[in-house]
Amino acid sequence: MEPALIRALIHAESAFNPLAVSRKGAMGLTQLMPATARELGVGNALLAEQNIFGGVKYLSGLLKQYDGNVALATAAYNAGAGAVQKHGGIPPYAETRAYVARVKLLHQRYKEMLSARGL
């Protein structure tokens, strides 16, 4: 997994707050829903290491499902793979469209930052 994309996802999801909990119950740095965390083998979604492991595993699976298409994978991360399938692409939800655009912008910024550092 590309470090810049992971950073972008965490930035967009929780602003790097490992104790973040959303109104819908998503938890931690990568904002895993409790059921998703369990499916991914995450015992405590508020522990940064476990959360990142689960979030990366989940995103990696979505990237494989969408043949490396970051926009579709991040849309599915936000709205669910069922919504992406139902709409044949990025769902027409304002929140999801804004999320995909935000992750794309952050991803580019982190790629540039890491590249400038020689990483």
Catalytic site residues? 13
Positive or negative, the Cα torsion across 60, 5, 103, 20?
positive
What SS3 state is found at 99? helix
User: What is the rounded CA–CA span in Å between residue 93 and residue 14?
Assistant: 20
